[in-house]
């Protein structure tokens, strides 16, 4: 009797295990799409990708909202400090502060090109149509430009803000630069480049903030690394654009890069060395093509799009070389001159430009 009663619970447990396994198997069969396991895996991966993009979009939106609040707090504190230092009444009323923060100072905006008509409140949905996404892009760019212009307008409190709240300023610079690059990313896919003058003005605001008068406290490493990544992306977009709108986009992108390199000492040397490195890399590819002969030469893979667009890089380097305060790695200059000779026969114009740029920067360093 005892043996029989002991075996009874074991039988019940075994029955529950078999039933559970069967239920799980049936659930999997019902969930599996008609295409089989492969289609199920692809469908699951796509679903997870969309979910990840949704969370990323929400995180970026929250970061923007938090940064905007920190910007307003910094402006308010700087306004109070400025008025106090001027010997005026130490306090603003809430309405006075709101008025100062909300007004658009047209004197700080070239020809009013940044005064875009924006809806009163942004759309709440994460899945917004392209028109609303473009609205958000314009709104984001305008807000960062206005913050940096208003802060730089408060000259007496600007450097103090860099000391105490530099992270807010530098984060705003990075976000503004990313806004500009985003417009060029969209143009790289064939979409029209809207308001190029607005992008150029935004870049000038970035360069002004990073100029010696505004960046004496130094650029934090984590933010400067992001700026370098965005510079690399801008140069890559300049090299690889093959859309029908290439000429207008290339001209605008070149002007933006020139403003960053010509008006800002912090980004000038990294940009120059990045441009040189890209030309040296392309010269290596062309040199490999020159080593091939006959039919193999004709079929050798050469990126002709990058070759044609490389002359924008030469133009930028020639303009940046006019600045006498260039501290460029001379190893890159030597590589430019050395790699120019093997290309003289097959790619004579490219070789001539390499030799000229090398000479300009060597002369500027001496």
Token pair recorded at residue 168: 């807010």
**Cα distances (Å, whole numbers) of residue 235 to 189, 217, 273, 278, 314:** 16, 28, 12, 9, 12
Q: 196-209 and 246-262 helices cross at what angle (nearest 10)? A: 20
SS3 of 241-289: CCCCCHHHHHHHHHHHHHHHHHCCHHHHHHHHHHHHHHHHHHHHHHHHH
Neighbouring residues of 242: CB distance < 8 A, sequence distance ≥ 6 = 305
CA–CA gap between residue 122 and residue 94 (Å, rounded): 24
Token pair recorded at residue 222: 């984590």
Token pair recorded at residue 195: 């308001």
CA–CA gap between residue 349 and residue 343 (Å, rounded): 9
Side-chain-side CA neighbours of residue 89 (13 Å): 4
CA–CA gap between residue 35 and residue 220 (Å, rounded): 52
Neighbouring residues of 275: CB distance < 8 A, sequence distance ≥ 6 = 235, 313, 316, 317, 320
The answer to whether 346 and 290 have CB atoms below 8 angstroms apart is yes
pTM, to two decimals: 0.74
How far is CA 108 from its chain centroid? Answer: 24
* pLDDT tens-digit profile, the chain (366 residues): 455 555 566 777 788 888 888 888 777 776 656 666 677 677 778 888 888 888 888 888 888 889 999 989 888 888 877 666 655 554 555 555 555 555 544 444 343 334 433 333 344 444 455 567 788 888 899 999 999 988 887 755 555 555 566 788 889 999 999 999 999 999 998 888 888 999 999 999 999 888 765 444 456 777 788 999 999 999 999 999 988 767 889 999 999 999 999 888 888 989 999 999 999 999 998 888 777 755 454 545 788 899 999 999 999 999 998 875 667 888 888 888 888 888 888 899 999 999 999 888 885 454
Dihedrals phi, psi of 215, to nearest 5 degrees: -120, 30
* Dihedral (CA of 82, 88, 89, 93) sign: negative
């Amino acid at each position: 009797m005892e043996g029989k009663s002991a075996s009874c619970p074991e039988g019940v447990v075994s029955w529950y295990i078999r039933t559970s396994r069967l239920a799980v198997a049936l659930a999997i069969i019902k969930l599996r799409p008609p295409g089989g396991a492969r289609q199920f895996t692809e469908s699951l991966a796509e679903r997870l990708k969309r979910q990840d993009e949704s969370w990323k979009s929400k995180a970026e939106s929250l970061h923007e909202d938090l940064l905007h609040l920190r910007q307003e707090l910094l402006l308010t504190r700087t306004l109070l400090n400025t008025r106090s230092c001027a010997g005026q009444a130490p306090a603003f009323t809430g309405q006075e502060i709101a008025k100062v923060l909300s007004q658009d100072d047209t004197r700080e905006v070239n020809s009013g090109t940044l005064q875009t008509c924006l809806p009163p409140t942004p759309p709440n949905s994460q899945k917004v149509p392209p028109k609303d996404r473009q609205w958000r892009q314009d709104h984001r760019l305008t807000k960062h430009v206005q913050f940096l212009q208003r802060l730089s307008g408060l000259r007496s409190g600007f450097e103090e803000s860099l000391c105490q709240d530099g992270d807010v300023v530098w984060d705003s610079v990075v976000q503004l630069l990313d806004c500009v690059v985003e417009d060029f990313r969209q143009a790289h896919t064939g979409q029209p480049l809207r308001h190029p003058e607005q992008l150029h003005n935004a870049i000038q605001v970035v360069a002004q903030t990073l100029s010696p008068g505004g960046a004496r406290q130094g650029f934090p490493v984590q933010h400067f690394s992001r700026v370098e990544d965005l510079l690399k992306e801008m140069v890559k977009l300049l090299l690889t654009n093959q859309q029908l709108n290439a000429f207008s986009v290339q001209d605008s992108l070149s002007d933006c890069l020139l403003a960053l390199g010509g008006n800002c000492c912090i980004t000038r040397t990294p940009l120059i060395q990045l441009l040189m490195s890209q030309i040296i890399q392309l010269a290596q590819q062309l040199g490999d093509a020159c080593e091939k002969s006959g039919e193999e030469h004709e079929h050798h893979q050469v990126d002709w799009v990058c070759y044609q667009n490389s002359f924008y890089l030469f133009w930028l380097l020639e303009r940046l070389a006019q600045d006498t305060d260039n501290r460029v790695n001379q190893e890159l200059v030597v590589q430019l001159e050395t790699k120019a000779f093997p290309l003289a026969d097959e790619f004579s114009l490219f070789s001539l430009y390499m030799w000229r740029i090398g000479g300009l920067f060597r002369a500027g360093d001496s």
